[in-house]
Structure 1
Amino acid sequence: MIVVPVSVACGQLFVAANRLWRGLLETLPGLPDVPAIQEVNVLATMAEGLSLPGMVFVLAVLPAVGEELVFRGVIGRGLVARGGIVHGIFLTSLLFAMAHINPAHAMSVFPLGVLLHVVHLATRSILAPILLHFLINGWAAVLTKATLSMPHRGGRPGVAGRRGGVAVVCVGARVTGVLLCGRVLLEVPDRISGSGRRPEFFPKSTG
C-alpha cells in the first residue's frame, strides 16, 4: 500500500518547499508573494464547517476525478503522443503543478504528478490514477478532520462555506487556464509544420 508513504512524502515535500520559498521571498524581495487561495489553505477552516463525507467529496472525489480526466486523460495523452513518454510526462506534470498556483505547493505536487502519470501508463487505465489520487487526498482529509475536530474552536458561522466557494472558483479558474496552456502546447507542432494533424486522445485499439 503506497498511499500512506506517498501522502507523508508529499507533506514533507510541501514543508521543505514552503520553507525554501519563504526563504527566497526574504532574500529576493522583488519576488511576488503569491496568495495561496487554494484547498491547502482553506483546509483547516473547511474541516470545522463540513462533515467528513462532505470534506472527502470536495477534497478527494472532485479533484481526483476532475484533475485526472483533464491532466492524464486529455492533456497527458496528447503530449505523450506528440513528444514521447518522457517529454509528455514532464510537461503534463509541470502543468499539473502549475495548476496549484502557490509555488511551494507546485514544487511538492510535481513528483506526485509524475507518479500518477506513470501509474496511468503502466495500467493503461485512467481509473488507477483516479483511485490513487482519491486515496491520497482522502487520507489527508480524514487526518485533517480528525486532528482539527478535537477540540472544537469557535469561529464565525459561514466562513467555511464562503472559503469553500472561493476554493471551488479558484480550482475552476486554474483548470481553465491549464486547459488553454495544454491546447497551445498541443498545437505548437502543427503550427510549425502546417500539417494540421491533431493527436488522438483516445486511440483505437490495434488488437
Structure 2
Amino acid sequence: MSQWLDWAKRLQALAQAGLTFTKDEFDRERYVELQRIATEMFERQSDLALEEVTKLTHVDGYPTPKLDVRGVVFRDDAILLVKERSDGLWTLPGGFCEVGLSPAQNIIKEIEEEAGYDVVPVRLLALFDMHHHDHPPLSQHYYKLFIECELIGGEAQVSHETSEVAFFTRDNLPPLSTARNTQEQLYMCFEARWQEDWITLFD
C-alpha cells in the first residue's frame, strides 16, 4: 500500500475517534482539522472531487473496518460470477453487510439480487483483511468474508448492479474486478470446493 494512503487512513481514523468521544470543544476543533487534512490527502491522490471524497471519509462513530460478504456458489466444477455494471469486470456476488442482517442473511440477499439464484449458506471459507491482499488502494479499511453456499433454486437474472451472470471453471476465469476479489482468492475457493475438512482461513 502507498505510504501516503496509510497515513491518510490513520489520520482519518484518529480524527473520527476523537470527534466521537471528545467533550472538549478545543479538541474538537483539532480533530476537525485532522479530518480536513486527511480528506485533502485522499482528494489529491484520487480522481474524485473533494465533495465526493468527504462523503466517503467523514463517517460518524468510532472507526472500525467495514464488512463485505462474497458468495461462493458452485455448479459442478464451475463457480458463479457476476459482471459489474460499474467497471465491466467479474466478481463473486456480494457487497457490504446491511445493519439488521447476519452475514448469512446478507449473502442470501446479495446472491438473489445480483444473480437471481436461491442459496443456503453452508460454511465460512475465509475472513480476509483487504490490506493483506492484492487489491487496489482503498480509502476505507475492509474485511471480506467468503461464504460457500449451496445452490437450491432460482435462475440467472441480472440486476441494476450486474449485466451478466455465468459460471466459470478454474482455468477459464474472466477479467476480474480486483477491488472486489482477486484471482488468488478465487483459486482458494476452488481449492476448498472438495475439502470437507476445510479449515477457515483468516488474516
Q: Which TM bucket (shorter chain)?
A: under 0.3
* Higher helix proportion: 1
Normalised by the size of structure 1, how large is the TM-score?
Answer: 0.24
